[in-house]
Chain A
Amino acid sequence: MVKTGNQERYDYDVIARWVQPDARVLDLGCGDGSLLQHLANTRNVRGYGIERDPERVVACLQNRVNVLQIDLEQGLAGFEDQQFDYVVMSLSLQAIHNTEGVLAEMLRVGHEAVVSFPNFGYWRHRVSLNEGHMPVSDILPHQWYNTPNVRFFTMADFEQLCGNRGIAVLERAAFDEDRLIDVDPNNYASVALYRLGRASA
């Protein structure tokens, strides 16, 4: 997933607000480690990133970010229950096959989970489909035939899944570009962020 500078900033700022100071954070698909750097600088978190791509792993090392080169499709089996305060996945959930499994694992390994993803229900995407084509936008920059994304879902879909799987939405933020969207985000937001926990039994 290509991230533009703008997206990174508002995505990161929200996550930084949600994360408690000095927390232990695991970032799944951490790229070059810039989110963890941001959280270390702003919230003094103790972070680890998981990344599969060799060049990004080296970039993390250059950026002094703790990085573990592990393939997420293998799951988080080596991690202990509640080992982290937060498990974060920024703009990667849509690129992973085992969506349910990953969400469950995030909330096993982390006390809370933070995820962000492109909202396929965004009105421009709907216009595109109405015109007969798969959406291509800043947040969905790839063509249908070369996209790394494998799961296509809206905010409404995601919240339904959470409800069905005992996952509590603790906080939500939705954006169109860098503008916060309060009204009808499933229609007007291109990116959604969620802070998630286990629904109390």
Chain B
Amino acid sequence: MTASGSVGNVTPQRAQFGEALQLRSGGVLPAYELVYETYGTLNASGSNAVLVCHALSGSHHVAGTYADQPKSSGWWDNLVGPGKPLDTNKFFVVGINNLGGCFGTTGPNCINPATGKRWGSDFPFVTVEDWVDSHARLADRLGIDTWAAVLGGSLGGMQALAWTLRYPDRVRNGMVIAAAPTLSTENIAFNEVARQAILTDPDFHGGDYYEHGVVPVRGLRLARMLGHITYLSDDAMAEKFGRKLRHGKHKYHFEVEYEIESYLRYQGDKFAGFFDANTYLLTTKALDYFDPAFEYDGNLQAALARAKANFFLASFSTDWRFSPTRSREIVYALLHNQRTVSYVEIDSSAGHDSFLLDNPTYHAAMRAYFQNIEV
């Protein structure tokens, strides 16, 4: 193993964009702000930049820690750093929070300059393609003409794919991890249940709960609990919690009886404490709408014909939310278009969440692929 370390203390940066952004939904953002982090150093020719796209609940904080918060490691800290598979000694890595987010980038919990109030229900629907467009402007500003790679897992993987289609000349390698060409019907169904939990929470107030000084905690909590079940595998849950009882016997009550209940409640409460309900709604909708083949009568091969990047895809054996079959659909469509593509199917018991873990084969494959990217 190569000695590897953390990128250390990091500080988020902000970029303001005054030019209006036309959105797919027909809406327009007159101006917006992106919050982002960078690790490593951009080389003179700007050829070593890697964009990391985040998943549903992720953020721009990909790696490193904040000086005053020792437990604030970035969400992909095991992958990104000096000597790590995405080596910051070689690459300049950028993480950006998506529009509609709740971590500093312009989103529903920000002030709408037109009204002086928080956007709330007025925030327009945003799509994966809108995020790509908004991030392309940041790339311009940072002096990045072409990304050495755009990488992402889950929703982030869809975003990496969208980059290769929307800006084919600006991405040399598309790295699409635990993703899919579209959500499955079942995925949309889960998202809808999660959204209904939020939308029917009496504290939701049509999305303008900020005005009422409340948060739809119950809905957000339920949405996250449901989501968590789908990110794990049956095996992983059984292994971690089994039928373990909190009190060692049946208490015949609705408080925590089984440890899995405790885990889900904890995850739900934690999430509801920091994530914005409107962001959850908008992001799950962006996932639902993502469908590069939609304008090609569902023909994914035709949709991917524009891509010029080389591709790396990875899926995980027990991921039933974004199953290996769905990744293979992308692989075969890329092969049809004679793209350079490699695909790994990692044996892992951890379900969809596997893409965030440091499975040795997975990381070895990523390391090998990144090592062969010329900068």
Instruction: Among A46, A62, A80, point to the contact of B368 (Cβ < 8 A).
Output: A62
CA distance in complex: A78, B335 (Å): 10
Whether A66 sits at the interface, judged by CB under 8 Å, is yes
Whether A42 sits at the interface, judged by CB under 8 Å, is no
Which residue of B is nearest A64, CB measured? B372
Closest chain A CB from B142 CB (angstroms):
29
Give A13-47 as 1s and 0s: 1 = Cβ < 8 Å from B's Cβ atoms. 00000000000100000000000000000000010
Whether B302 sits at the interface, judged by CB under 8 Å, is no
Is the CB–CB distance between A66 and B341 below 8 Å?
yes
Give A119-140 as 1s and 0s: 1 = Cβ < 8 Å from B's Cβ atoms. 0000000000000000000000
Instruction: Determine which residue in B342, B345, B371 has the highest number of CB atoms from chain A within 10 A of its CB, and name it.
Output: B342
**Which positions in A face B, CB cutoff 8 Å?**
24, 46, 48, 54-55, 57-58, 60-62, 64, 66-70, 78-80, 83
What are 25 contact pairs spanning A and B, CB under 8 A?
A: A48-B335, A54-B346, A54-B347, A57-B365, A58-B361, A58-B368, A61-B342, A61-B365, A61-B369, A62-B368, A62-B371, A64-B372, A66-B342, A67-B343, A67-B344, A68-B341, A69-B344, A69-B345, A70-B343, A78-B328, A78-B331, A79-B332, A79-B335, A80-B336, A83-B336
Residues in chain B near residue A80, CB distance under 8 A? 336
Whether B11 sits at the interface, judged by CB under 8 Å, is no
Residues in chain A near residue B41, CB distance under 8 A? none
CA distance in complex: A57, B336 (Å): 21
Residues in chain A near residue B371, CB distance under 8 A? 62
Which residue of B is nearest A58, CB measured? B364
CA distance in complex: A55, B264 (Å): 36
Is the CB–CB distance between B342 and A54 below 8 Å?
no
Is the CB–CB distance between B368 and A83 below 8 Å?
no
Q: Which residues of B, 326-375, contact A by the 8 Å Cβ criterion?
A: 328, 331-332, 335-336, 338, 340-347, 361, 364-365, 368-369, 371-372
CA distance in complex: A57, B345 (Å): 10
**A68 and B368 in contact (CB under 8 A), knowing A54-B347, A80-B336?**
no
Is the CB–CB distance between B342 and A68 below 8 Å?
yes
Closest chain B CB from A60 CB (angstroms):
7
Q: Which 6 A-B pairs have the closest CB atoms?
A: A61-B368, A78-B332, A54-B361, A62-B368, A69-B345, A68-B343
Closest chain A CB from B317 CB (angstroms):
11
CA distance in complex: A55, B343 (Å): 14
Q: Once A and B bind, how many residue pairs between them come within 8 Å at the CB atom?
A: 51
Is the CB–CB distance between B342 and A83 below 8 Å?
no
CA distance in complex: A57, B341 (Å): 13
Residues in chain A near residue B347, CB distance under 8 A? 54
Residues in chain A near residue B365, CB distance under 8 A? 57-58, 61
Residues in chain B near residue A60, CB distance under 8 A? 342
Which residue of A is nearest B329, CB measured? A78
CA distance in complex: A55, B375 (Å): 26
Instruction: Determine which residue in B335, B336, B346 has the highest number of CB atoms from chain A within 10 A of its CB, and name it.
Output: B335
CA distance in complex: A61, B365 (Å): 7
Is the CB–CB distance between B331 and A68 below 8 Å?
yes
Is the CB–CB distance between B342 and A67 below 8 Å?
yes
Residues in chain A near residue B368, CB distance under 8 A? 58, 61-62
Residues in chain B near residue A70, CB distance under 8 A? 328, 343, 345
Residues in chain B near residue A68, CB distance under 8 A? 331, 341-343
CA distance in complex: A66, B344 (Å): 11
CA distance in complex: A130, B347 (Å): 44
Residues in chain A near residue B369, CB distance under 8 A? 61
CA distance in complex: A36, B371 (Å): 20
Which residue of A is nearest B371, CB measured? A62
Which residue of B is nearest A57, CB measured? B344
Closest chain A CB from B177 CB (angstroms):
14
Residues in chain A near residue B331, CB distance under 8 A? 68, 78
Which residue of A is nearest B359, CB measured? A54
Residues in chain A near residue B343, CB distance under 8 A? 67-70
CA distance in complex: A69, B345 (Å): 6
Instruction: Determine which residue in A78, A79, A83 has the highest number of CB atoms from chain B within 10 A of its CB, and name it.
Output: A78
Residues in chain B near residue A79, CB distance under 8 A? 332, 335
CA distance in complex: A24, B340 (Å): 12
Closest chain B CB from A54 CB (angstroms):
4
CA distance in complex: A62, B361 (Å): 13
Closest chain B CB from A18 CB (angstroms):
22
Not counting A67-B342, A79-B335, a sample of 10 additional A-B residue pairs whose C-beta atoms are within 8 angstroms of each other reads A24-B338, A48-B341, A55-B361, A58-B364, A60-B342, A62-B368, A62-B372, A67-B343, A68-B341, A79-B332
Residues in chain A near residue B344, CB distance under 8 A? 54, 57, 61, 67, 69
Instruction: Determine which residue in A48, A54, A67, A69 has the highest number of CB atoms from chain B within 10 A of its CB, and name it.
Output: A69
Closest chain A CB from B355 CB (angstroms):
15
CA distance in complex: A75, B343 (Å): 16
Closest chain A CB from B330 CB (angstroms):
11
CA distance in complex: A137, B187 (Å): 53
Residues in chain B near residue A58, CB distance under 8 A? 361, 364-365, 368
Closest chain A CB from B292 CB (angstroms):
18
CA distance in complex: A70, B332 (Å): 12
Residues in chain B near residue A67, CB distance under 8 A? 342-344
